[in-house]
Amino acid sequence: MPFTLASFYLHLRFSKTLFMKTIDDFNFENKKALIRVDFNVPLNESFEVTDSNRIEAAKPTIIKVLEDGGSAVLMSHLGRPKGQKNPDLSLKHIANKVSEIIGVSVKFVEDSVGKVAEEAVAALQPGEVLLLENLRFHAEEEKGDEEFAEKLSKLGDIYVNDAFGTAHRAHASTTIVAKFFPENKCFGYLLAKEIEAIEKVMRTGEKPVLAILGGAKVSSKITIIENILDKVDHLIIGGGMTYTFVKAQGGHVGDSICEDDKMDLALDILKQAKEKGVQVHIPVDVLAANDFSNDAETQIVDVNEIPDGWQGLDAGPKTLEHFKKVILQARTILWNGPVGVFEMEAFAKGTIAVGNFIDEATQNGAFSLVGGGDSVAAVKQFGFENKVSYVSTGGGAMLESLEGKTLPGIAAIIGQ
């Protein structure tokens, strides 16, 4: 049977210790931990890290190794050098920031495999941290080359995958290298938390379970919708997707974004939801504009009666009042996608309101998971990071998890 999150959770339920080893299952005293981290962080023109969240997220795993009396060998990619050495994408630029966050002076070596890397690892003492050069300077990394993975495996005694953001890629450092550590491989704290958070939404969450799906297109979310209909009690549709559903049911959407070729699909989703007892909540009014601009003229209109020349760009007040009731009665919440064009201040109110409703629900004891690039960006922009239960660090990996797809990086650790 192919590995999926569903099969993983089934295994986890009946035999957790057999299938899921975490970093707490190992003592790293006098051991070298080869840790796949996700340090693909943004840099400015001066090569300074402008968002260190991913580094901070890896800190607990690294500290655990050091406190045990072990040493940590960190490997990551940065950007897309396409198998070529690119000085602008060297991980040496982030070594000082990693040192600052970890609280330990981080050593750096100018390759990720070979003699220079092996010598640097051999010289590493307990309590020390070594950062390898950008893995993607070698084309073999993204190709999942086994020989390259074997070279990486020589750099540690125990393999730790703590990079959820790349767990959906069968790359050498995320998946293939694990086969060279048949007994000595595990999840780091971050990756274990990601798995647990998704499990709460997809399997073990307290009911009612609510999914809030936004974004521009139905086509980009269809697999997620189809996969979660068996898991949720309520589904809120927001953002640009709204208008495909509205037009499919006979509404007039003006110049709003709409996938005409997906209207039959939208109707099928509504039919499936009804058959499965899932309540679907679609906006009833919207903030419409006469131009896709922050300075456009705006008006509140019925979602079914958007005038020609106008486009819906945010949720309206009646919609938000209804969404609030649905969100506050939920006990498990997944938020994937904004409900308006939040990048423009004039159309950010709906997304901010939804964030506030989720904050209130979370304070009242609900579990809330935010995942996917745009929703995570909104959460960060409007200061909700510490007001929800968990913010996923992996965009593509999170989405593929919700779609029920195989995650090679997870399968490699549990031996499937």
Is the pLDDT higher at 292 or at 53? 292
Residues annotated within the binding site for (2R)-3-phosphoglycerate are 54, 136, 169
Bigger pLDDT: 149 or 219? 149
Higher pLDDT, 53 or 277: 277
- The residue that leads in pLDDT, 351 or 376, is 351
Q: In the structure, what pLDDT confidence band is assigned to residue 6 with cuts at 50, 70 and 90?
A: very low
In CATH terms, 16-192 corresponds, of 3.40.50.1110, 2.40.30.10, 3.40.50.1260, 3.40.50.1980, to: 3.40.50.1260
From residue 229, give the alpha-carbon distance in Å to each of 66, 236, 271, 308. Answer: 43, 12, 11, 34
Task: Give 277's pLDDT tier (boundaries 50, 70, 90).
Answer: very high
Number of Cβ within a 10 Å radius of residue 147: 10
Per-domain residue ranges for the chain? 16-192, 205-402
Round the average pLDDT of the chain to a whole number and report it: 91
Most confident of 200-209, 212-221, 265-274, 407-416: 265-274
Which pLDDT does position 184 carry in this prediction? 96
Length of the chain measured in residues: 416
Domain formed by 205-402, architecture = 3-Layer(aba) Sandwich (3.40)
pLDDT at 13: 39
Instruction: Cite the annotated binding site for ATP by residue number.
Output: 221, 312, 343, 372-375
pTM exceeds 0.95 for this model: no
Predicted confidence band of residue 167 (pLDDT cuts 50, 70, 90): confident
Give yes or no for a contact between 351 and 326, defined as CB atoms under 8 angstroms apart: no
Binding site residue list: 38-40, 54, 77-80, 136, 169, 221, 312, 343, 372-375
Residue numbers in the known binding site for substrate are 38-40, 54, 77-80, 136, 169
Q: Which residue has the higher pLDDT, 402 or 62?
A: 62
Q: Comparing 16-192 with 205-402, is the CATH topology the same?
A: yes
Under the banding of pLDDT at 50, 70 and 90, the label for residue 17 is very low
* Closest alpha carbon to 252 in 313, 214, 302: 302
Neighbours of 163 (CB within 10 A): 31
Residues carrying an active site annotation: 54, 217, 373, 396
